[in-house]
């Protein structure tokens, strides 16, 4: 019983409890416990075996600890089994539909007998939902529009979730002596924000031993097919993993081929034909009439060198700018995690965060950062206990005091995530904002307003002399909420004109701006700031997801403002 498995079972239990209308505090306890357990370096099973009390760990209460003990001792949860007898697992897919929260999902299940997305769509098309109390025609229409998002959530998982599977599977597979090398390819390796399946490539002289070991991976639910060198399986939640065992001479060619993208491989094969070569997953071949001679394939470097090309970073293999970059000498170097010096979007216990200013600062410094900005919500975000002017100014006085008391060069900046109001303008007066080191402007309300209205709100914020940056500029939540309708070209132009910055929010559920938008921002000369939007210490680790997205957007360290020192960053923030 791995930590990952325990966390998954606790999350499933919380989902079912939410569907049945359980107390919000109990739900939060189970979800927080699942998060803590997933991130723990030590095995929960081993800790319990050694007589340890899990309650000693922050975020794990008696209820969660009891469930962990039951899972380790019995392999299951009696409460969960009982719930699954009452509610089919497919009903949980309804919770992925925007505008269909747990109460409404329970209503369509209990009153209409709807158990999956297909039935929900049919009911919307027939006008059945609007007949229920609390729905209406507008709600029914919004639910129908959101079904596509829920379907996508079933088909593709977040890159961060895929990365958890990869980490566990990599460790497991490397324990098999017959594995010489292994790599994960496909959309996972290219860093796409969602992943439909995993391609696992293994270099081995003993395919049977590799596949026998793979077949024992504990998360496998079923085997789809098994051949001499290929095997496909389904993990929990229907996620597919394809294993291919290849000889050493073909490993590089297979890695290049299965990494893709399809469009990138078309470019590569076209260049090969022009040179009288053929490329496939087995290698590079020189063609002479009907004869072909294998000439390369052991590594990706071998493959690309035969075409006089550099080894493109996997993230940019999307048939966008690769060949343009290949003409550069040397090609630009994409940003790395180590380039980041500061994190300028995070929350504390003053609003909806889970750590104090000091705790966030110490954790950021431990990660090698030089500065952070504390950016709690402004007063409009009442559900997060947003700060009014009086509380904000008091927080800033505390930050000034902390900076005076610190015995290092680490800087805590006085910041705020200030809402852009539905009617336009900022949530706090300029008199207050003028005293900040760093002001983020954000849209949290009125996200369904017309395109021009939302665009005018954001452009208006960029023209405010005290705003530094616009956060998560399209407001999307991957597989949960579509971006709001905004004219990003107008936003890029205003940001460039006003010398303002735009955010790449590194939260794996946001990754906003997306890769295409980052390319556009770069072409407009708008610096990007990669921030975690962390609400707890562990959230600071999300920076790696932002870096992956930035690389997909072809960003170098020079395109990202918070690779600079704070003194250098301030020069980018000339107020209009």
Domain boundaries in the chain?
A: 3-155, 157-246, 252-326, 337-572
In this prediction, residue 575 carries a pLDDT of 43
Q: Tell me: the pLDDT tens digits for 167-213? A: 999 999 999 999 999 999 999 999 999 999 999 999 999 999 999 99
Q: Tell me: the pLDDT tens digits for 63-100? A: 999 999 999 999 889 999 898 888 887 888 888 887 78
Give the rounded percent of residues in the chain with a pLDDT score beyond 90: 73
In this prediction, residue 400 carries a pLDDT of 98
Does residue 237 have a pLDDT over 80?
A: no
Per CATH, the homologous superfamily of domain 252-326 is DNA polymerase, thumb domain (3.30.210.10)
17: enclosing H helix or E strand:
helix 3-19
Does residue 292 have a pLDDT over 80?
A: yes
Its CATH architecture, for the domain 3-155, is Orthogonal Bundle (1.10)
In this prediction, residue 306 carries a pLDDT of 96
Whole-model pTM? 0.84
Contacts of 303 (CB under 8 A, 6+ apart): 252, 253, 256, 279, 283, 284, 296, 297
Q: Distance between CA atoms of 543 and 246, rounded to whole angstroms?
A: 34
Does residue 351 have a pLDDT over 80?
A: yes
Identify which of 89-93, 108-112, 286-290, 532-536 has the greatest average pLDDT: 532-536
Cβ contact 413:424 at 8 Å: no
The correct answer on CATH 3.30.460.10 for the domain covering 157-246 is yes
Instruction: From the options 3.20.20.140, 3.40.1160.10, 3.30.1360.120, 3.30.470.20, give the CATH code of 337-572.
Output: 3.20.20.140
Radius of gyration of the chain, Cα coordinates, nearest whole angstrom: 26
- Residue spans of alpha helices (H) in 373-428: 389-405
CA atoms within 13 A on the CB side of 288: 4
């Amino acid at each position: 019983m791995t930590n990952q498995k325990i966390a998954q079972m606790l999350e499933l239990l919380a989902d079912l409890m939410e569907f049945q209308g359980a107390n919000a505090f109990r739900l939060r306890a189970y979800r927080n416990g699942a998060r803590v357990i997933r991130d723990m370096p030590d095995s929960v099973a081993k800790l319990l075996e050694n007589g340890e009390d899990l309650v000693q760990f922050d975020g794990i209460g008696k209820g969660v600890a009891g469930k962990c003990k039951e899972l380790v001792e019995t392999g299951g949860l009696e409460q969960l089994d009982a719930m699954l007898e009452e509610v089919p697992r497919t009903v949980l897919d309804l919770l992925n539909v925007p505008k269909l929260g747990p109460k409404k999902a329970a209503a369509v299940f209990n009153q209409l007998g709807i158990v999956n997305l297909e039935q929900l769509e049919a009911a919307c098309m027939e006008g059945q939902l609007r007949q229920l109390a609390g729905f209406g025609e507008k709600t029914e229409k919004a639910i129908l529009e959101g079904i596509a998002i829920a379907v996508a959530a079933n088909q593709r998982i977040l890159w961060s979730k895929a990365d958890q599977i990869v980490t566990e599977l990599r460790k497991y597979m490397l324990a098999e002596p017959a594995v010489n090398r292994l790599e994960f390819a496909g959309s996972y390796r290219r860093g796409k924000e969602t992943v439909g399946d995993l391609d696992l490539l293994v270099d081995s002289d003993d395919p049977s031993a590799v596949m026998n070991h793979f077949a024992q991976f504990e998360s496998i639910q079923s085997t789809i097919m098994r051949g001499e060198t290929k095997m496909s399986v389904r993990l929990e939640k229907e996620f597919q993993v394809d294993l291919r065992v290849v000889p050493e001479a073909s490993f590089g060619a297979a890695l290049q081929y299965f990494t893709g993208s399809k469009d990138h491989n078309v470019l590569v094969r076209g260049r090969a034909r022009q040179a009288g070569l053929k490329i496939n997953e087995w290698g590079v071949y020189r063609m002479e009439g009907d004869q072909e001679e294998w000439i390369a394939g052991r590594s990706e470097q071998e493959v690309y060198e035969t075409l006089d090309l550099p080894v493109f970073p996997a993230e940019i293999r999307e048939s966008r700018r690769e060949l343009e970059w290949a003409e550069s000498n040397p090609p630009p170097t994409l940003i790395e995690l180590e380039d980041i010096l500061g994190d300028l979007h995070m929350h504390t216990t003053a609003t909806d965060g889970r750590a104090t200013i000091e705790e966030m600062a110490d954790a950021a410094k431990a990660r090698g950062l030089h500065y952070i900005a504390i950016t709690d919500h402004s007063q409009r975000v009442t559900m997060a206990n947003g700060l009014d002017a009086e509380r904000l100014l008091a927080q800033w006085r505390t930050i000034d005091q902390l900076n005076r008391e610190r015995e290092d060069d680490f800087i805590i900046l006085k910041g705020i995530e200030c809402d852009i109001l539905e009617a336009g303008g900022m949530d706090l007066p300029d008199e207050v904002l003028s005293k900040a080191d760093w002001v983020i402007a954000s849209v949290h309300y009125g996200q369904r307003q017309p395109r021009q209205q939302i665009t005018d709100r954001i452009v208006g914020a960029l023209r405010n002399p005290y705003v530094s940056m616009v956060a998560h500029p399209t407001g999307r939540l991957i597989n949960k909420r579509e971006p709001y309708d905004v004219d990003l070209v107008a936003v890029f132009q205003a940001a460039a004109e006003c010398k303002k910055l735009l955010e790449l929010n590194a939260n794996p559920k946001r990754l906003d701006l997306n890769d295409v938008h980052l390319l556009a921002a770069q072409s407009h000369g708008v610096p990007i700031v990669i921030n975690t939007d962390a609400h707890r210490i562990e959230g600071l680790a999300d920076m790696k997801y932002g870096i992956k997205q930035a690389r997909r957007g072809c960003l170098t360290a020079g395109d990202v403002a918070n690779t600079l020192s704070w003194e250098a960053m301030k020069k980018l923030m000339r107020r209009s």
